[in-house]
Amino acid sequence: MSAFRDDGAAALEWAAAYLERVRELPVLSQVEPGAIRAALPERAPDAPEPFEAVLRDLDEVLLPGLTHWQSPRYFAYFATTGSEPGILAELLAATLNQVGILWRTSPALQELEEVTLGWLAELLGLPEGLHGHIEDTASTGLVTALAAARAAAPGKRVVVCSEHTHSSTAKAARLLELELRAVPGDDDFSMRLDGIDLTDACAVVATIGTTSSAAIDPVPALADRCAVAGAWLHVDAAYAGSAAVCPELRPLFAGWERADSIGVNPHKWLFTPMDCSAFWSCRPDDLRNAFSLVPEYLRASEDVVSLSEYSVPLGRRFRALKLWAVLRCYGREGLQETIREHLRLAALFEGWVREEPGWEVCAPRHFSLVCFRMDGSDEQNEALLERVNATGEAFLSHARLGGRFVLRLAIGNARTAEDDVRVAWDVLRREARA
């Protein structure tokens, strides 16, 4: 174990130093396609190499090919945080190397997953008693939800969503051979209710916090309609769901307590390292009906349902450990404080854009995402985005809203300070003048 202790100390020091210097690194990787591949040997070595060679090549070969999601100046897609307790919990999870295929292969893994999902549901104001488990990503969660919906409504093969629904719904529908019916959004990019027909629908996917603009679909009205039609309501709150830890934001989540299933990604806005996607459902029997291969009479002697019976993978790793560490080391108050700070920073940035001549805000801001653009053509805005990202000083992404190319600044990294947001704004204005 002395090698492990020494190598571990070196890896830990690398990690600490990385987190200290990540603000100074170019946020978006500036390498050309194939550059990292070309810098690596064509074959694995024959003889063992020391771990320090891995650390060396991490610096010398891989580092230029990393886009720094941990940078406080990462504002693209949805900004995330691998927080310190989450990182260290991953070290522990890998050390324990639990493989949760059946309850008995790791009672602690299974029960901690259930307990932390219960904790998180309570933190977010969700109803008591929901079944909860962790998926790798919201994409897989969509497969889980729609497979259960399909099995629960034989003969109905339509999934209704909005044009702004994340592409993972389309991907899941294709996998499950369901017909996707995307209805238009209104002027605020929220799903329009007129013309929705659920007669042949097995499921509706509503989003709280869409990817393009963090828009909010009319969940209460959709819940009403699903109840009448017998359709499964899945609420995708992958990004925004974490914000429900703040009671003052709960009105934005009205109706989600009536969903058949809900997805929230702690690896997005709850400071948990990738991957950790929370999935809840009030219809666990329907999940098992879709996924379980264990007939009741073959249950193991301990008579415990294994989490593998609720979704695709058989084996699961000990993801709950990092969520547990994050929820404890932040606490409810720490989670609220960090999310409120992100909302403050987003509002601040939104104000700067509104006040600046030649710039406009392009969508209502509900959470920590600001959609905006400068006066000019789509091409000019696209070119601006490329120039900003090429500086490496900040990284933003884009969306199309109402047919227009808009810039997106998403705040979600726990290390982002007001100065980082100001840097992004300075770079944007500088490059816009260029």
**Counting contacts by CB under 8 A, is residue 69 touching its own copies?**
yes
304: helix, strand or coil:
coil
| Residue pair 70/413 in contact by the 8 Å Cβ criterion | yes
What residues does 182 pair with on adjacent strands?
Answer: 161
The reply to whether 125 sits near its own copies by the rule CB under 8 A is no
**Total Cβ atoms within 10 A of residue 362:** 21
CB of 193 to its own copies, least distance (A): 26
From the CB of 248, what's the least distance to its own copies, in Å? 16
In the complex, what is the shortest distance from the CB of residue 358 to its own copies, in angstroms, rounded to a whole number? 26
| Residue 330 near its own copies by CB under 8 A | yes
Region 100-119 residues binding its own copies, contact defined as CB under 8 A? 101, 103-109, 111-112, 114-115, 118-119
Note whether 226 and 204 are within 8 A (CB): yes
One of 230, 331, 376, 402 touching its own copies (CB under 8 A):
331
How near is the Cβ of 23 to its own copies at its closest, in Å? 12
Q: Which is nearer to its own copies, 227 or 312 (CB)?
A: 312
Nearer to its own copies, 41 or 195 (CB): 41
| E strand or H helix at 12 | helix 2-21
Which amino acid belongs to residue 57? D
Count CB neighbours of 230 within 10 A: 12
Q: If DSSP codes are grouped into helix, strand and coil, which group holds residue 386?
A: helix
Binder of its own copies out of 24, 94, 354, 360 (CB under 8 A): 94
Distance of closest approach, residue 234 Cβ to its own copies, in angstroms: 16
Cα–Cα distance list, 39 to 36, 59, 177, 336 (Å): 5, 12, 42, 44
Give the helix ranges, DSSP H, for 136-196.
138-152, 167-175
| 412 contacts its own copies (rule: CB under 8 A) | no
> How, if at all, do strands 261-264 and 277-281 pair?
antiparallel
Question: Which whole-number Å values give the CA distances from 104 to 100, 285, 304, in the listed order?
Answer: 8, 21, 9
- Which residues are bridge partners to 398 per DSSP? 407
> Of 282 and 397, which has the nearer Cβ to its own copies?
397
- Examine residue 90 and tell whether it contacts its own copies (CB under 8 A): yes
Q: Does 170 bind its own copies (CB under 8 A)?
A: yes
- Region from 69-77, 196-204, 402-410, 418-426 binding its own copies, contact rule CB under 8 A: 69-77
Interacting positions 127-146 with its own copies (CB under 8 A): 136-140, 143
List, as own/partner pairs, every contact residues 20-26 make where C-beta atoms lie below 8 angstroms and the sequence separation is at least 24, other chains included.
22/68, 22/70, 22/71, 22/72, 23/71, 23/72, 23/73, 23/415, 23/420, 25/63, 25/66, 25/68, 25/71, 25/392, 26/68, 26/391, 26/392, 26/393
Which residue, 122 or 426, has its beta carbon nearer to its own copies?
122
* SS3 assignment, position 74: strand
67 vs 380 by CB, closer to its own copies = 67
Restricted to residues 172-231, the positions that interact with its own copies (CB under 8 A) are 172, 174-177
3-state helix, strand, coil in the chain (%, to 5): 50, 15, 35
- DSSP bridge pairs for 135: 277
Q: Which of 25, 193, 282, 314 binds its own copies (CB under 8 A)?
A: 314
**Contact with its own copies (CB under 8 A): which of 127, 184, 230, 315?**
315
Q: How far is the CB of 164 from its own copies (least distance, A)?
A: 15
Residues numbered 144-163 forming contacts with its own copies, rule: CB under 8 A: 147
Q: Tell me if residue 236 falls in helix, strand or coil.
A: strand
Helix (H) / strand (E) element for 207: namely: strand 201-207
Structure tokens, 275 = 């991957």
Q: Does 310 bind its own copies (CB under 8 A)?
A: no
User: Rule CB under 8 A: is residue 254 a binding residue for its own copies?
Assistant: no
Question: Which one of the spans 63-71, 191-199, 280-288, 344-352 is the region binding its own copies (CB under 8 A)?
Answer: 63-71
Residues 350-389, one symbol each (x = binds its own copies by CB under 8 A, - = not), give ------------------------------------x---
Chain residues 35-54 in contact with its own copies, contact rule CB under 8 A: 35-37, 40, 42-51, 53-54
Piece of the chain touching its own copies by CB under 8 A; list 251-259, 326-334, 344-352, 418-426: 326-334
Structure tokens at 114: 């259930």
Q: Which residue among 24, 122, 285, 375 contacts its own copies (CB under 8 A)? A: 122
Span interacting with its own copies, options 86-94, 253-261, 358-366, 425-433, rule CB under 8 A: 86-94
